Amino acid sequence: MITYGHFIGGKHVAGTSGRFADVFQPMDGSIRGKVALASKAELDAAVENAKAAQPAWAAVNPQRRARILQKFLDLIARDVDKLADILAREHGKTIPDAKGDIQRGVEVVEVCLGAPHMLKGEYTDAAGPGIDIYSMRQPLGVAAGITPFNFPAMIPLWKLAPAIACGNAFILKPSERDPGVPMMLAELALEAGLPAGILNVVNGDKESVDAILDNHDIQAVGFVGSTPIAEYIYSRGCANGKRVQCFGGAKNHMIIMPDADMDQAVDALIGAGYGAAGERCMAISVAVPVGEKTANELVKRLIPRVESLKVGPSTDGTADFGPLVTKAHLEKVKGYVDLGVTEGAKLVVDGRGFKMQGYENGFYMGGCLFDNVTADMRIYKEEIFGPVLSVVRTKEYAEALKLVNDHEYGNGTAIFTRDGDAARDFASKVNVGMVGVNVPIPVPLAYYTFGGWKRSAFGDLNQHGPDAFRFYTKTKTVTSRWPSGIKDGASFVIPTMN
């Protein structure tokens, strides 16, 4: 039985609140361990530690900070199999998918090696008589990240790497459902040479989240999770004067045009809709075929593919996807399928009764496929976050585009077509932050930024890429003039270039 405490000041620290949560192993339903849930006092102590360590770290030049991140990458590569095993056991992903989770995080750390370039300011010589103007990017101080269960490696790395590269200290509050990987990442960062106190992991629940939002020494907070919590964190954090970026829920549509390569479209829907058991904010959960013939052909091809999906334990590298993260979440997803049937959608593939032989207590569910879903149904409006794909039939392209634009979420979307005009029109007019053209999961590469629109995101700056360096720094602009014999006398007029 594993007991997770916290990682503060470069050391493992036992929890003192007396509160713990169970950490499950989804593939067999067993309790793998327990994790301490921090009190406000514990969170505040971690912040004090980070605050004390941060000035010396900020004084380290960006190139040397980048060298430590390079060593950190080397250690992740060395221990990737161990990290993937922990991730799979606590989350439920298959080992190959767990390694993909880690790799997507690694790619952001790789971009952060360019911190010396990304942190450069601007300089104007002779902006006025004997006057030079230059700007500097400086760290905020202490920043925090509140990260979700579904990517326990990727999203913590997306948050902590740019914050640390910019010279900040960082408080990570990972999901209490799968804390093992974030704890190990903190150990590896210390081994790489990161000073004690610069990366702290505080495990917890709402009490520690509120403590982060209310602590006046934390200057910035990043969050990924559901929209209601994103909205709560954004509102409370901003009210307390913090810089806040929050990424919430999604309902990602994929439009299939009549001219699309149907084999390619079906492959894309199967992988993007059911990979990681649908527990991805960028999963395609709504297929939108244009035209009755397109819809009939799509559903005809999807049914046998969904029925033949291989569900297996996380350690089975040949499985298409593994179990869901907890029994409670499994029951929630099944409840949505029940609701869809009640609402009148046609359940053409029903995976609710799936049982994994030898793992009967695991949190498994087979793939589900709905046809004839309409925009007034809750299963269309709400994020299910499970292996459930809905088909919404449309008569023409304009109707499909309107369907996407009218939805309250705007995280990701895709169109499958051979028509360049249609693809270009869609990319231009769709009211969504990330768009794929014949690409089902349009997560940008790490040197671009990741972020949705509408109620999928709150805040002005996105994750990773250039926006991450903007989010974790503040700009200082200096206007200087050295004595040169010029005698201007006192002026009571605002300076201008006249």
For residues 441 and 443, what is the distance between their CA atoms, to the nearest angstrom? 6
For residues 208 and 147, what is the distance between their CA atoms, to the nearest angstrom? 13
260-to-297, 427, 430 alpha-carbon distances in Å: 11, 16, 19
Would you state the structure tokens that stand for residue 211, as one six-digit string? Answer: 């403590």
Return the residue matching tokens 């299963």: 379
> Max Cα separation, the chain?
89
At residue 403, what is the residue type? L
- Indicate the SS3 state at residue 473: strand
Neighbours of 300 (CB within 10 A): 12
To 10 degrees, what angle do helices 154-165 and 180-191 make?
A: 30
Alpha helices in 79-196 (DSSP H): 80-91, 95-112, 115-118, 154-165, 180-191
Neighbours of 342 (CB within 10 A): 11
477-to-163, 228, 439 alpha-carbon distances in Å: 21, 37, 42
CA angle, corner 237, sides to 235 and 242, nearest 5? Answer: 130
For residues 391 and 412, what is the distance between their CA atoms, to the nearest angstrom? 17
To 10 degrees, what angle do helices 154-165 and 95-112 make?
A: 10
Would you state the structure tokens that stand for residue 264, as one six-digit string? Answer: 């390619």
For residues 303 and 369, what is the distance between their CA atoms, to the nearest angstrom? 7
* Nearest CA-CA partner of 225 in 157, 284, 280, 163: 280
Phi-psi region of 455 (alpha: psi -120 to 50; beta: other; left: phi over 0): alpha
For residues 442 and 105, what is the distance between their CA atoms, to the nearest angstrom? 16
Find residue 393's DSSP bridge partners.
none
CA angle, corner 451, sides to 258 and 437, nearest 5? Answer: 20
171-to-60, 146, 147, 203, 474 alpha-carbon distances in Å: 19, 9, 11, 10, 19
Asked about 238 being catalytic, the answer comes back as no
* Catalytic annotation, pick one of 112, 246, 281, 368: 281
Q: Which residues are catalytic?
A: 281
